[in-house]
Each structure stands twice: as structure tokens, then as C-alpha cells.
Amino acid sequence: MNRLPLVFAAILTTLVMTNVVAEVAEEVNFDAVEKKVRTLVPNAKTIAISETPIEGVLQVQINSDIIYMTADGRYLLQGQIMEVDTRINITDQAKSGLRVGVLSELKREEQISFAPEKAKYDLLVFTDIDCGYCRKLHNQMDEYNEEGIAIHYMGFPRAGVGSASFDKFVSVWCADDQQSAMTLAKNGGDPESQKCPNPIAEQYDVGREIGVTGTPALVTTDGTLIPGYVPPAQLRQRLEALEASAE
């Protein structure tokens, strides 16, 4: 995928915001801004407003989404803020923090895990059993584990709750040997149809809440979302780079 248009869009958004807020000089009234936001999303569960590095522009967290608003509450802006000198994506950083908060409440015992004896990296992987690239990832599980990467599966049947893919995931979850049932399903087989209490619908909702739109979707322990399939060796390099940038 050519990511240059996305980068240019982020830069353009930053420039537009800079021009818009150049005239904003009054002191920020956070309560007034929140009232303005609530007129747009009256049913929002949470709204949190904070300053950004750009004078006169506020970050507004609405549930698990991030938007921006001028300090006078007059203009609402959607896009990404990137610091050009450091190449740090400030919007992604904010979203990562939100994801960590959501994911911290998840239970490891409700995930189907494939892990080496000593894992260097733990990844949550939102997966659809019938997704082609999800199957490709699973068929290289030994290679991921050899790279020190543990894969912890979360259910994300793209067709939604109640679909055939959802039911198949439930059967995998309810199997006595979840790992074997997962491998069978990922290879196109049909695990024994079963029903039992399961977290698949909840995991699907969590995925949508943190911004998963396709599968596989990889999420690091610091909340970074890596969309799509990444080969084992390249994924290890990417995780090492993320770790180094955080130091």
C-alpha cells in the first residue's frame, strides 16, 4: 500500500490546524468546549479534553476516538497530528494509550495462545478463522515463535456476531484442545460444532472499540496497532524498532 497520501494528509491537516488556530488567543474554557462536544455526541460515555503541542488546538477523546477542536469551540478537526522533526505521530500515541486502558482489562485465559517457552514479545492478534492472511499467519506460527513472538488470539469474525465464521470460532473456543481445533479450522477444516459460554462476542466488540477494521490486526503491549499480515522476521524487526523508539 502506498502510504504517501496518508503522510501528506497528516501534514496538510497539521498545516490547516495551524492556520485556523492562529487567531485563537483567548484562554481555554474546557467546560464550554465539552458542552459544545456533547451537543454533537450527546450519548458519549466518556469525553476527555486536553491540550496539544499546537497552541489553540485541543485533543478531544470521545469514547475511544480522538478528534481535535479549536480552543474557542468553534472548529472541529479530524486527522492526525505529526511532529515533523521527530516523525512522532501524536495522534497514534494518544490512541495507543486508550488501547492499553481497554486491553488491560482482558483476561489471558480467555485468549487462545501459541507461545514459545521464552517469549520476547507478546502480541494480541484479532483474527477471523476464514480470513486468507489470517490463515497465512497461522501457518507460520512456528516461525513467529522462533522469533520469540507469542501470539494470543482474540476473536474478530468480520461478518459479525451470529455469522458462520462466528459460530466456527465458538466451536474452536469450546473444544477440549483449542490449539488443535484452531489449526484445523485455519487449514479449512470444520471443528466439531459446539456451544458453550464464550468471550467471542465480547472480543469482537473490544476489537471494534480499539479501531480494528480488518484482520489480522496485531496489537502490542504498549497499544500500538499493526494492521495486516507481517512476515515473522519483518515483524520481529518492527517490534524491535518500536521497543527502541520507546527507550
Other C-beta atoms closer than 10 Å to the C-beta of 199 total 18
- Which three cell numbers mark 98? 486508550
Task: Write down the catalytic residue from 134, 135, 174, 236.
Answer: 134
DSSP code string of 184-241: HHHTT--PPP-----SHHHHHHHHHHTT--SSSEEE-TT--EEES---HHHHHHHHHH
Task: Write down the catalytic residue from 128, 130, 135, 174.
Answer: 128
- Of 3, 20, 1, 2, the closest CA to residue 78 belongs to 20
Contact present, 71 and 37 (Cβ < 8 Å): no
DSSP H or E stretch at residue 174: helix 164-174
Does the annotation mark 131 as catalytic? yes
- Of 104, 62, 120, 137, the closest CA to residue 242 belongs to 120
Q: How many helices (H) and strands (E) does the chain have?
A: 9, 11
Cβ neighbourhood burial of 164 (10 Å; 0-12, 13-18, 19+)? exposed
Does the annotation mark 31 as catalytic? no
Task: Write down the catalytic residue from 131, 135, 174, 236.
Answer: 131
Task: Write down the catalytic residue from 99, 135, 158, 236.
Answer: 158
Residues serving a catalytic function are 128, 131, 134, 158
